[in-house]
Amino acid sequence: MTCRFSTQVSATRPALGNPTSAHPAYRRRQLGRTLRKLREAAGLSQEDAGRPLRFSTSKMSRIEQGFIPGYNDFLALLDRYGIISSDYAKEKGW
């Protein structure tokens, strides 16, 4: 019995330990980290940032971990952090 293993790496899957900015999961986590930094720069806790938007602390945590909010929630967060959403999105290429 012969075992054959392919040594080719899939072109659509990045090599382990080498996340690329094109990989969707990496980009989601990066967006979450950016939103956390914006919240911290605004001097807000997760609870304080989410309260006027009726977001629970667990929802804020999920967003900052890379679970992307809906478009309107995303714009509301940017507004809450004092960011002009269209200018910031263009600058970041979103």
Residues 6+ apart with CB under 8 A from 85: 74, 75, 78, 79
Could you report the per-residue pLDDT of 34-53, keeping only the tens digit for each?
999 999 999 999 999 999 99
75 closest CA partner among 85, 65, 67 = 85
Residue 9 in contact with residue 15, Cβ under 8 Å?
yes
Predicted confidence at residue 8, as pLDDT, reads: 47
Residue 48 CA to residue 76 CA, distance in Å, equals 14
Per-residue tokens: 26:
């990496």
Q: What is the mean pLDDT of the chain?
A: 80
Confidence bin at 58 (pLDDT 50/70/90): very high
Predicted confidence at residue 87, as pLDDT, reads: 62
Could you report the per-residue pLDDT of 8-26, keeping only the tens digit for each?
444 455 555 555 667 889 9
Per-residue tokens: 76:
């509301």
Residue 36 in contact with residue 67, Cβ under 8 Å?
no
